[in-house]
Amino acid sequence: MSNNDKFFKINLEKLLQKIPMVNQLELKLNESQWGMLEGLENNRFWVHISARRTGKSYAAAILAFAKLLEPGTQVMVVAPNFSLSSIIWDYTTQIIRDLALETERFNQKDKVIRLVNGSTFRLLSANNRDSLIGRAANLLIVDEAAIIPNDEYFTRDLRPALSTFPDSRCLWISTPRGKGNYLYEYYLRGQDPEFDNWGSARFTWRANPLLNQIDIDEARKSMSKNLFGQEYECDWITLGKIFNIDENKHLRQIEEINPGDYRYEFLGGLDIGYRDETAFVVLAKDSEENFYVVDEYVAKEGTTSTHAIYIKEIAEKWDIDTIYIDSAAQQTKADLAYDYDIYCENAQKSVNDGILAIQNLVDNDKLVFDIDNARHSFDSMAAYRWNERTEKQKPVHDWTSHCCDAIRYAIYSNLRGQVSIYA
């Protein structure tokens, strides 16, 4: 096959030797990155599913640059928002600067570059639908594609952009976000021989030889099993709910714990809501590090003084040792101390680490809710779900968040406090 028959007319191996960043670090494209190149050469529509830290955005930037070196080409990058799409933009523009290529236009604000050879590189956000209409592209790259809610941005706005040039290409790159979205359907289309213009492939963390087992083991420890499977093994997991909580195991009448019981340490977790609910939970912890949610106060509306009355009453009833509060609520923390004699400690704020600690408790049946006094907290944790439309996995913020945050403040801060004392 001659170069004229190829989609990329530039010899990629020779080009890599001229890119200063690659040359200085003696980088070589890994299996996933070469797979991206081959996928675009052989398929008009290529769905590239690749694990975290396999260099998919950097490879896409190199391919975008290679296409821009061909005179008069149009390359567009689309992502869920400008923040995410700027990754490929930054890589590509850095290569242009490093090689001192002359440009006719370099608009950082509008994210448009035109080289002197007539090629144009443009960055677009799927959130701004009007900006997608009426543009032609030789190469269209959709970054973090699974985070975009549906494929209307492509079928309505961008598919016509690929009709202008006879040999145009579209590349979707992403880690998986479950099976309930358009990207999974596109991936299956790439595996179906009936769709001869489509192709797809999946590359786990093993595609990057620069990753070692120690890195992976650390990532595995800091994530839930499902989240690690999604981000590093590229499993098509619908993460859904965060905690594997079960009424039969984790909800009952807790009759053996009474206020002031010396066998337990009593903790409070406080999540202050300004427009949302305010949640205050009481937990009892025994010597074997079992946690029991024994009381709660949840109110959507009310002033600080109103909340303080109930919080103080519950805290005194259970003789709470420490109340952990959101470290962002410093003014409320000060008001509670000076005006109402309620003293709080700043909570540890690492959300995913805190969630992982509670997941371990739930999975080992070491977290129990009182059916009479903590039902709302149990219902919140049972309905707490991952947000599958974000680049980094984080929980959905809704009515379930407040009790879950309060519980996390208390448990994770308490566990971390023990580690800092005895480590």
- Assign 3-class secondary structure to the chain: CCHHHCCCCCCHHHHHHHCHHHHHHCCCCCHHHHHHHHHHHHCCEEEEEECCCCCHHHHHHHHHHHHHCCCCCEEEEEECCHHHHHHHHHHHHHHHHHCCCCEEEEECCCCEEEECCCCEEEEEECCCHHHHCCCCCCEEEEECHHHCCCCHHHHHHHHHHHCCCCCCEEEEEECCCCCCCHHHHHHHHHHCCCCCCEEEEEECHHHCCCCCHHHHHHHHHCCCHHHHHHHCCCCCCCCCECCCCCHHHHEECCCCCCCCCCCCEEEEEEECCCCCCEEEEEEEECCCCCEEEEEEEEECCCCHHHHHHHHHHHHHHHCCCEEEECCCCHHHHHHHHHHHCCCCEECCCCHHHHHHHHHHHHHCCCEEEECCCCHHHHHHHHHCEEECCCCCCEECCCCCHHHHHHHHHHHHHHHHHHHHHHC
Is 144 a known active-site residue? yes
Tokens found for residue 326:
């959101």
Catalytic residue among 144, 231, 277, 296: 144
Structure-token match 């709660």, residue found: 296
Phi-psi region of 168 (alpha: psi -120 to 50; beta: other; left: phi over 0): beta
125 bridge partner residues: 79
The alpha carbon dihedral of 391, 394, 395, 397 has a sign of: negative
Catalytic residue list: 144
